[in-house]
Amino acid sequence: MAALLSPLSPSGPAAAAAPGEKGAGSRRGTRNWPFLLIVPALLVLLAVFAYPVAQTFVSAFTTPTPGTGNFAWFFGSPANVAVLTRTFSTALWATVICLCLAYPYAYLMTVASPRARAALLLIVMLPFWTSLMVRTFAWLVLLQDTGVVNGFLGLFGLGPVSLVRTQAGVLIGMVQILMPFMVLPLYSVMSGIDRRLLTAAESLGARPLVALLRVFVPLSLPGVAAGATMVFITSLGFYVTPALLGSPGEALISQFMYTQVSGMLMWGRGGAMAVVLFAATLLLIGLLGLAMRAGRRSRASAR
Amino acid sequence: MSARLARAALWITGALVAAWLVAPTLVVIPLGFTDKVSLTFPPTGWSTRWYANFFGDPAWTAALANSVLVGVLVAVVATTLGTAAAFGLSRWTNGRGAAAASVLLLAPMIVPGIILAIGIYAVFLKLGLAGTLAGFVAAHTVLALPFVVVSVTASLRTFDVRLETAAASLGAGRWATFRQVTLPLITPGVVSGALFAFVTSFDEVVVSLFIQSPTLVTLPVQMYSSVTRETDPTLAAAATMILVLTTVLVGGGLTLAARRNRAR
């Protein structure tokens, strides 16, 4: 996101200094025209995004009665806290598995020929845009007790293993859907690493694997941090995949929010869980920012 | 020798991951053409009866029509708002204001969908927007805006501002400059933004699940509720059509984005 924000601000002075501008008075009147172009989008976002989200947070403290009753309800029941810990552990597992699969893939993208790289990138980007519903449905078909995966296991005399309605099934579906969030940040950092550093390390006597682990891996850590945060945050709020592939007895927080609000109209409870979920998300983004800054500083001082 | 072995291992891992990313989804295509009533893979015989079933069932055809209508409206609204906002952001001299505005513009990508869904549902219930076309378009527009802003911003980054200066020095007004100089040059970004906006709306499930009504159901919502009710190969036929449509649109969007990068 930082990469997105940085180019947005400059280039203004050049445009403002364009000849053909009239006197200072008219310029003052029109100086804010770029802002006026942003206003409609901002208004829509304030009305249909910021206000509803803020209202949800407020309802956590006001509905049905003012106070922190909704939070006391949530943290007071071991079953509810179990939902929260299960959500976090699922997100953690999803992140770890994503990283293990995405790291070699992203590395391969940096060493592949341009054409192979484009193909590898397309293979990551297409699923990113392929309907979540379609992909979850496909996993449901594959993982069911009479599905392809169990048929395959049966060939070796294994199974049938129940995969649908288990945490394993949820993880398989989630990891596949979240892969782009890990591969893309990893690739963008890895492609900026100067590969001559590896050559240098090897010429100084390091074996290729040692050079990779001691030189390349540390330099790729910002990508790991960014990708891991993206995957973790996204999996905290996942609804469709756990709802369809998971077991109702082992709900994640988003499913729990859905039943509380849509089924039981417990707005305050839903709001309280939204506050908890959002606080966790913000905390993680903040930690990522700090880690990035510390990493940049230590790299700057090393130079 | 060991270097070659390591390289082979890397390629094999990459190929396996690639297969795992793409192959599972493709299972829906043969399933849509099965002649059985169950979703058994691989199918033992072929038929097009599930497609006939899809187009003969008003629940599915209405959902498809709703999704296309909402998606087109969202693409138009989000692209207009998003292009204006991205252009304004790139020309705004107030750096701090621009940074704050872009945080709000991109925030819908970061806030978990379920939180937004609950909030929108509450507000829409109060305003009577739940289950209306306007409600669907408004909610999906918010989710699609960031993709338009990102896409158009990327185009504007490669755009040479001196061209605008040149047009202005030749007497063109600001609107004429934008229409005749800037817009044609950033068209690939605008079009790919519009395609991404359509696909975002066309695929959206969570918010739509909340704000649906018996009279207004979108295709993913219809799929979601039939998945939880029955296992009927009509689902696979619907999934195949969604898959083909979004792949074609996104393929187009990504090609335009790639052309933009090459121009740089």
Higher-confidence residue of A10 and B20: namely: B20
Is pLDDT at B47 greater than 90 in this prediction?
A: no
β-bridge mates for residue B213, sequence order: B216
Q: What is the DSSP letter of B46?
A: B
> In a 3-state reduction of DSSP, which class is residue B36?
coil
Residue A145 near residue A164, CB atoms below 8 Å: yes
Residue B196 near residue B252, CB atoms below 8 Å: no
Identify the pLDDT of residue A7: 34
Dist CA A11 CA B162 (whole Å): 10
List chain B residues with CB under 8 Å of A1.
Answer: 106
**Stretch 73-92 of chain B: residues touching chain A, C-beta under 8 Å:** 81-82, 84-85, 87-92
Higher-confidence residue of B104 and A31: namely: B104
User: For residue A186, what are its two tokens?
Assistant: 């990893």
Task: Determine contact: B150 vs chain A, CB below 8 A.
Answer: yes
Identify the pLDDT of residue A144: 83
CB contact under 8 A, B242 and A20: no
- State the virtual CA torsion across B134, B139, B142, B145 in degrees, nearest 10: -70
Low-confidence ranges of chain A (pLDDT < 50): 1-28
Place of tokens 């090393």: A302
The 10 Å CB-count burial string (b at 16+, else e) for B80-117 is: bbbbbbbbbbbbbbeeebbeebbebbbbbebbbbbbbb
* A294 Cα to chain B: minimum distance (Å): 22
Question: What is the value of ipTM here, to two decimals?
Answer: 0.86
List chain B residues with CB under 8 Å of A209.
Answer: 6
Give A163-172 pLDDT, tens digit per residue.
Answer: 888 888 899 9
For B96-103, what is the mean pLDDT? 86
CB contact under 8 A, A125 and B171: no
CB contact under 8 A, B118 and A107: no
CB contact under 8 A, B227 and A140: yes
Identify the pLDDT of residue B102: 86
* A12 Cα to chain B: minimum distance (Å): 5
Q: What is the DSSP letter of A294?
A: H
Amino acid sitting at position A20: G
Q: Where are the alpha helices (H) located in B27-173, listed in sequence order?
A: 28-32, 49-56, 58-91, 95-106, 113-127, 133-157, 162-169
Nearest residue to A261 via CA among B124, B218, B229, B187: B124
Give B227-248 pLDDT, tens digit per residue.
Answer: 887 778 888 999 999 998 888 8
Q: Which of A14-18, A217-221, B89-93, B134-138 has the highest mean pLDDT?
A: B134-138
Mutating which of B80, B94, B114 best tests the A interface, going by the most A Cβ atoms within 10 A?
B114
Instruction: Tell me which residue in B88, B161, B223 faces A11 most closely, judged by beta carbons.
Output: B161
CB contact under 8 A, B220 and A285: no
Give A62-73 pLDDT, tens digit per residue.
Answer: 988 898 889 999
Identify the pLDDT of residue B210: 92
B261 pLDDT tier (thresholds 50, 70, 90): low
pTM over 0.90: no
* B149 Cα to chain A: minimum distance (Å): 10
Nearest residue to A273 via CA among A43, A57, A104, A103: A57
Residue A174 near residue A241, CB atoms below 8 Å: yes
Dist CA A132 CA B39 (whole Å): 19
Give B143-188 pLDDT, tens digit per residue.
Answer: 999 999 998 998 888 888 888 889 989 988 888 888 888 888 888 8
Nearest residue to A226 via CA among A185, A266, A172, A191: A185
Is pLDDT at B50 greater than 50 in this prediction?
A: yes
Cis peptide before A160 (omega within 30 of 0): yes
User: For residue A51, what are its two tokens?
Assistant: 């206000």
Q: What DSSP letter does each residue of B191-227 carry, written as one string?
A: HHHHHHHHHHHHH--HHHHHH-BTTB--HHHHHHHHH
